Amino acid sequence: MQRFIIRRLLQTLVTLLAVSIIVFALARLSGDPRDALMPMEASRADRERILVHWGLDQPVHMQYLVFIGNALRGDFGESLQWPGRKALDLVLDRLGNTMELAAVALVFAIALAVPIGVLSAVHKDSRTDFLGKLIALLGQSLPHFWIGIVFIWIFSVHLRWLPTSGRGTFQHMIMPAIVIGWFQVAALMRLIRSSMLESLDSEYVKLARIKGVSERMIIWKHAFRNAAITPLTYFGVMMSYLVVGSITTETVFSWPGVGYLVVQAVTARDFQVVQTVAIVFATVIILMNLAVDILYAYIDPRIRYD
Amino acid sequence: MSKAVATQPLQTGKPRSVSRLWWRKLRELPLVSIIILLIVLVIPALLAEVIAPHNPFEGSLGKRLQAPAFFGGPSEHLLGTDHQGRDILSRIIYGSRISIAVAAAGILIAGILGTLLGLMAGYFRGWIDALVMRLVDITLSIPAILVALVVAAAIGARFSSVVFIIALVLWAVYARQIRGETLKWSQSDFVARARVAGASHFRILTRHILPNVTNTLIVLATLQVGFVIVFEASLSFLGVGIPRPNPAWGLMIADGRKYVMSAWWISFFPGLAIMLTVLSLNMLGDWLRDRLDPKLRQV
């Protein structure tokens, strides 16, 4: 177990390093990174200051070391759009809002995917199964942002049930959370269905049937508990989709999270904020994957020896 | 009774007519998906000049925000007009070209790159394998949309940057899948015999292994077209994909966002086009997968 954790930690470190190299390289795609880092009307003095801050007068490998050094100290530069504010502070201020939305979306996805997945496995090839497949197919084919706009049109403009945008009450959260969560319902449901089918076909379920255990107990206690382990591995991937899905969804609903912030920053060409968001999001996702892997290895010892 | 049945001549192996046989084959195809794809994506893209009723780039401000013809608007604009008075139907028709071009270019580049690296990793093993698989893991753990935002902020949005990002993200999926297949086939008897017969690595890879992974490639590519179309639309919607005033579907949805209170049709119809296209592509992909490569069902 210890060796497994150490190996996974090292892999995580390499991935984080790769992320920093990618962001570092992309900032230099345009030639002079100051074109990306600064507005066009920046003064000479400002350009000089940035030159020194990012070590741009030095060779590339030194520039990278300066970049990493600054990043490790939490210094990603200052925002252009909101002068005087540190890019990292801006991002961290909003991270809570994004996580709040992701959590609600996650709860929604699980609450919908578990019953549908289990039911479509139990009643395989029935109408329920078909309906489940349809929901899954729709969820994976519809673009987030479009569902968001259609929802606003139906529930806010026509029915006047829910507020169109912003954050405040629980009502503000309903539409964005459903929009982000729906895509996950599809994937999670498929996983639960296939692992349920497998465990319903197993020896222990047959034995339970022979013993005369009630069908309800068989489904939820014997079959589902074992089937629930497989979808667990998917949670890392799922969290990353939830975070990423927040970028388009927050924009549609003007939800004051990191996703909305980064889109505003791109529009304003506020590169310092964009690169900070990229690194913070990537770090959050990579760490979550690490946590899930370790948790999974803890639950299912076979994984450790892969 | 039973005797009579038994003595009846059996009708086996002899098709009544060739056309019937073709009809049977045709019925097995996922026809609904194919028809929707033809109507929404392929025919508009091929014949945009012929079938589009208006110029997708030019509109007159006097005709802005007109409702669809079936919703009380003038019959001149079937799906209504946008905030600049441009015909929505014509823009959707021309937009199909952008979707196809981005998907084709991105998947082609990613497919070639991923297959090449996957073949080498699975065949030669050793450090190439270790390196490629590590790169695959890294690529898959970084969300594509973040890369897209950083690229857009650094060099701005354009067609080539969208294709670049798609290729950058998708190659890993091919590489991983093809590597696994290659690994399996390199241990097969026919590869061992080819090696004994003195075939070069290049010949073994191109003549013996590549043909065996082609089905996997086709299925993967088909399943990804839908993803790529939604992805491109998301980028365009966020303003980091195809630049204005191109009639990209995602851009059109973004244009309509401000008018959701008064002119829902601006966003609605391009989204419907995306939905129909992607839904059909996914169904077609599922069908192909079951036909050509049932192993992939778990993917």
Domain residues for the domain of B40 are: 31-47+78-298
Looking at residues A55-80, what average pLDDT do you find?
78
A19 vs B: CB within 8 A = yes
In a domain, B262, yes or no: yes
What pLDDT was estimated at residue B85?
A: 76
- Over residues A104-153, the pLDDT tens digits come to 888 888 888 888 888 888 887 788 888 888 887 787 788 888 888 888 88
Q: pLDDT (tens digit, 9 = 90+) per residue, A249-284?
A: 888 888 888 888 888 888 877 788 888 888 888 888
Q: Which of A15, A150, A278 sits opposite B146 (nearest CB)?
A: A278
Q: Report d(CA B145, CA B241) in Å as an integer.
A: 10
Q: Is residue B52 part of a domain?
A: no
B260 has a chain A CB within 8 A of its CB? yes
Measure B71 CA to nearest chain A CA, in Å: 16
Within-domain flag for B72: no
Mean pLDDT of chain A: 81
pLDDT score at A41: 66
Q: What is the pLDDT of residues A279-304, one digit of tens each?
A: 888 888 888 888 888 887 777 776 66
Q: Which domains does chain A have, with CATH numbers?
A: 1-306 (1.10.3720.10)
- Domain presence at residue B68: no
Q: Is residue B21 part of a domain?
A: no
Q: A306 pLDDT exceeds 70?
A: no
- For residue B182, pLDDT beyond 70: yes
Nearest to B153 among A248, A252, A269 (CB): A269
A119 in B contact zone (CB under 8 Å): no
In a domain, B16, yes or no: no
Angle CA B134–B137–B139, to nearest 5: 110
For residue A37, what pLDDT is reported? 64
A130 touches chain B (CB under 8 A): no
Is the Cβ pair B137, A247 closer than 8 Å? Answer: no
Answer whether A286 touches B (CB < 8 Å): yes
- Per the document, the length of chain B is 299
- CB-defined contacts A:B, below 8 A: 137
A268 lies within 8 A of chain B by CB: no
Partner B contacted by A207 (CB < 8 A): no
Task: Say yes or no for a CB contact (<8 Å) between B149 and A277.
Answer: yes
Asked if the model's pLDDT at residue B5 lies above 50, the reply is no
Q: What is the CATH number of the domain that holds B108?
A: 1.10.3720.10
**Predicted local confidence at residue B155, as pLDDT:** 76
Asked if the model's pLDDT at residue A53 lies above 80, the reply is no
On the question of pLDDT at B113 being above 50, the answer is yes
- B151–A29: do the CB atoms touch at under 8 Å? yes
3-state SS, one letter per residue, for chain B: CHHHHHHCCCCCCCCCCHHHHHHHHHHHCCHHHHHHHHHHHHHHHHHHHHHCCCCCCCCCHHHCCCCCHHHCCCCCCCCCECCCCCEHHHHHHHHHHHHHHHHHHHHHHHHHHHHHHHHHHHHHCHHHHHHHHHHHHHHHHCCHHHHHHHHHHHHCCCHHHHHHHHHHHHHHHHHHHHHHHHHHHHCCHHHHHHHHCCCCHHHHHHHHHHHHHHHHHHHHHHHHHHHHHHHHHHHHHHCCCCCCCCCCHHHHHHHHHCCCCCCCHHHHHHHHHHHHHHHHHHHHHHHHHHHHCHHHHHC
Task: Answer yes or no: is pLDDT of B68 > 70.
Answer: yes
Residue B66 inside a domain? The answer is no
Cβ neighbours of B260 in A, within 8 Å? 149, 152-153, 157, 164
Count of domains observed in chain B: 1
Per-residue pLDDT tens for B232-248?
998 888 888 888 888 88
Q: Taking the CA atoms of chain B, what radius of gyration do you get in angstroms? A: 25
- Given an 8 Å threshold on Cβ–Cβ distance, is B234 in contact with A275? no
A64 and A24 in contact (C-beta within 8 Å)? yes
Q: How far is A118 from chain B (nearest CA, A)?
A: 18
Distance to chain B for A211, nearest Cα, Å: 33
* pLDDT mean across residues, chain B: 82
Regarding pTM above 0.90, the answer is: no
Q: Which of B40, B141, B266, B287 to mutate to test the interface with A (most CBs of A within 10 A)?
A: B141
Q: How far is B275 from chain A (nearest CA, A)?
A: 5
CB contact under 8 A, B154 and A266: no
